[in-house]
Structure 1
Amino acid sequence: MEVESALERFHSLKLTDIMPRFETMPVVTADSDLLSVLKILRTRHHVWVVDSRENMKLVGVIRYRDVIDVLLPPEAHKFKLGMTSKTMRSMLGGATKAEDVAERHVLTVEEDATVLDALMKMRKYKIQVLAVVKDGKLVGEVSLRILIDELLRLLRVGGAQWRA
C-alpha cells in the first residue's frame, strides 16, 4: 500500500471505528469533588465532565493546565474590574465540584465524523483533543495521539514505505 492511499484511507475512517473504549476515558460527573478530578489529572491531560452517568450530557472539560487556576488563591486572578470567572474557579474561591472549574465551551465533533473532519477542527482551533458527541451526549473522544497511533497501525498493516 502506498503512503498516499494509506493517508486517503486514514482520512476517510469514521471516528467511531478508532475511538478508545468508553470505559478507558477520563470522565467525571458534574458533582464530583475536586480531589477526584485532581487524582485523574495526575496521569491524564484532561477530564470530561458530564451531567450524570445516566444521561452523559456533556457539561465541560477540565484540562491539566487549568489546574493552575484551581490551585491559585482568588486574589491572584483579580483585576481592577473586580471578579473574573477564573476567581470563581479557585478552590480557595469556593470551587468544590468538577462543574465549578470545568471549561463550558468544549470543542466537539459529531459521532459520524471522519478523521479528516477531526484533523481540520483540531488545526482550526489549535487543540489536540475533541469530545465525540451524539445529540449532545458524550460518546467518545479523539486525540492527536489516537490519530497518530491509527495512522502508524495502517501503515504497518498495509506495509507502506515512506519514500524520499
Structure 2
Amino acid sequence: MKQQEEIKSKFIRTQKALILKPSMGIGVKVSKTRIISGLSCESREGDYVLKTDMPSQVGGNETGPTAGVLGRAALGSCLAIGYMMWASRLDVIIDSLEVHIVTKFDDGALFDTSDSPPGYTEIKYHVKVVSPSRKEDVENAINEGDKHSPYLDVFSRAQNCVRELEIKTT
C-alpha cells in the first residue's frame, strides 16, 4: 500500500510537470549494440549492459537470451509497470500482478524457407491480478494501463523505421 501511495504521488507530480512543460516529455534515447563473437551481442545504454545471443543449433554461443526473449520481456514489463502506475493513480490496491506474453511466429521467415512475415503472427497477453478492490475498478486501471502503454503501442502500431548505413572498406 505504501509503495502504491508513493507511486501515485510521483505519478501526479510528473503529470503536473508535463502539463506545465510538455517538452519535458519529448526525448531521444540511444542504444548501441555490437557483435562480440559470432552471434553474441552486447547492447549498451547509459549504465546498462545487456547480452543477447542465439541457440547453438543456429550458430549462437548461448551466452544470453535471444532478442525475442528481451522483446517479450519488454512488452510484459512495460504492461505490468503501467498497470501498477495506473492502479496506484486510481487508488486501486493490487496485491499481486503478472503478465504472461504468448507469441506465435514462423522461424522459416528468418531462414528464408517461408512466406510468413519474420515477426510475430500473433501476440496474446494474459493479465493476472489479485486485488481487494472492486473488479470494475481493477479493470478500469488495466484499461488505462493498456491505453497509455508505450510498448503495447510499439507492438500494435506500425513504426517509422529509418535505416542509416555506414560502410568502411578495409
- TM-score for both structures, normalised by structure 2: 0.26
Larger Rg: 2
Tell me the TM-score normalised to structure 1 length.
0.27
Looking at both structures, which has the greater relative contact order when contacts are Cα pairs under 8 Å and sequence separation is at least 6? Answer: 1
Is the strand fraction higher in 1 or 2? 2
